[in-house]
Each structure stands twice: as structure tokens, then as C-alpha cells.
Amino acid sequence: MLTTVEERAALSGDAYAAPMSAQPVHQEDPEDPNEILRGLPEREREEFLRQYRAAAQAARDDITQYAALRRLLHRWSLVVIAANQPGYYEAIEDAKAGAGSYTPLDQALATVRARRAS
């Protein structure tokens, strides 16, 4: 005879029969300025803060600039991901020098368009 909720849930496969926590699930927002600042390498922080302060000021002065602030935070959240990848800064230097492997923009766009068309 099964006596506990856990045992019944395990045998039935019913995940909802298992006990649940009353604690809220907390996930950090990757576009939160504090999360961006925390995730950025030190060398990126000053530029992020400069751009963020300017965009926040513009949004404060003109509500129509709020969308631009959101786009800025989104772009910087992507920088956090990219800048923390091994070889990121080396790849940028290679690109500036015209070295390394790369795909020209027109070729990359043609490939994406062809894939979407099929």
C-alpha cells in the first residue's frame, strides 16, 4: 500500500501530485542593468554605464525614448553573452585586421535568405 504523496507521484508519473514549494521561482532578468553590469567584463563596464546613463536620461526626458533604452539593454545583454565566450576579443581583433576566417556580409545574408525561402 502506498502511503506518501511522493510514492504515488513516482508510480503514476503525476508531477502535480508531488509536494511543491510555496517559494517563488526567481530568475534574473538578463536585460536588467544590474545584471548586465555584473556580467560584463571590467573593460566593458565604463562604456555600458555611459550609454545606459545617456539612454535613461533621454527616456526620462521623453517617454518615446523608452523603446530605445530597452533596445540598448537588449544589445548589452547580448554583449554579456558574447564577451564571456573564449576568444571573443581575439576574434574582434582578427576581424579589424582582416585576418581569421569570416563570411562576407552579402554571402551570409544570401545564405540566410535561401534557408528561409526553402
**Helix, strand counts (H, E) of the chain:** 6, 0
Q: With 90 as the cut, is the pLDDT of residue 23 above it?
A: no
Q: Round to whole Å and give the CA distance between 53 and 51.
A: 6
Q: Which of 48, 50, 52 is nearest to 39 (CA)?
A: 48
Q: How many C-beta neighbours within 10 Å does residue 76 have?
A: 24
53-89: per-residue pLDDT in tens?
A: 999 999 999 999 999 999 999 999 999 999 999 999 9
What pLDDT is recorded for position 103?
Answer: 82
Summarize the confidence of residues 4-25 as an average pLDDT: 61
- State the pTM of this model: 0.65
Burial 33-48 (b: 16+ CB within 10 A, else e): bebbeebbeeebeeeb
Summarize the confidence of residues 14-23 as an average pLDDT: 60
What pLDDT is recorded for position 17?
Answer: 53
Q: Round to whole Å and give the CA distance between 76 and 53.
A: 13
Interacting residues of 66 by C-beta distance below 8 A, sequence separation 6+: 59
Q: How many C-beta neighbours within 10 Å does residue 55 have?
A: 19
Name the residue with higher pLDDT: 35 or 14. Answer: 35
